[in-house]
Amino acid sequence: MAGKTPRTSAKRATKAAATKRGAVKPRLLAGGNPQIAKGYGDAPVQAYIAAMPGWKRDVGRNLDALIARVVPGVHKAVKWNSPLYGVEGQGWFLGIHVFTRYVKVVFFRGASLRPVPPGASKQQHTRYLDIHEHDQFDEAQFTSWVKQASRLPGERM
């Protein structure tokens, strides 16, 4: 154990054991974005949502529930510290990311949606929806975008 003190080793062992028990909370990166290990399926997405700070957690739960309701059998993953939603064989159609003052929803083929989501992107096809704490969320419009986006070819990542 060159360079490691017994105290450092004990700390690492305690942290590793706590991680196995699920007791360690994910670290929040810049803007409060949860650092979640890359993974596929519902479990990593739910871990990400559970780690979202404050009011953003409720937004995450709501978005996840709406997407799952609108797209039965939706595929989920966490990549690059962001939940992704897709359709098997088509790729990813939507992503979520936490920032300091808002939650960003990314529609990878958003330029093809009608109406086009409000947030422009440097990427030709991508559009964004930023959700702030006191925004009036238009569930009907969001549902329409999710339905449309899930029918388009998605991003392969």
Asked whether residue 44 is domain-assigned, the answer is yes
Q: Which DSSP helix (H) or strand (E) runs through 75? A: strand 75-79
- In CATH, what number is assigned to the domain containing residue 68? 3.90.1150.200
- Summarised one tens digit per residue, pLDDT across range 51-106 is 999 999 999 999 999 999 999 999 999 999 999 999 999 999 999 999 999 999 99
Boundaries of domain holding 32? 26-150
Q: How many domains does the chain have?
A: 1
| Domain presence at residue 82 | yes
The answer to whether residue 4 sits within a structural domain is no
119 in any annotated domain:
yes
In this predicted structure, the answer to whether residue 41 has a pLDDT above a threshold of 70 is yes
Q: Given pLDDT bands bounded at 50, 70 and 90, which one contains residue 24?
A: low
Residue 28's pLDDT band, with cuts at 50, 70 and 90, is confident
User: How confident is residue 35, by pLDDT bands cut at 50, 70 and 90?
Assistant: confident
Residue 11 lies in a domain: no
Examine residue 104 and state whether it is found in any structural domain, yes or no. Answer: yes
Long-range contacts of 20-29 (CB under 8 A, 24+ apart): 25/51, 26/51, 28/53, 29/81
The single-letter code of the amino acid at 51 is A
The pTM of the full predicted model, rounded to 2 decimals, is 0.82
Q: How many other C-beta atoms are found inside a 10 Å radius of the C-beta of residue 142?
A: 19
Whether 18 maps to a domain, the answer reads: no
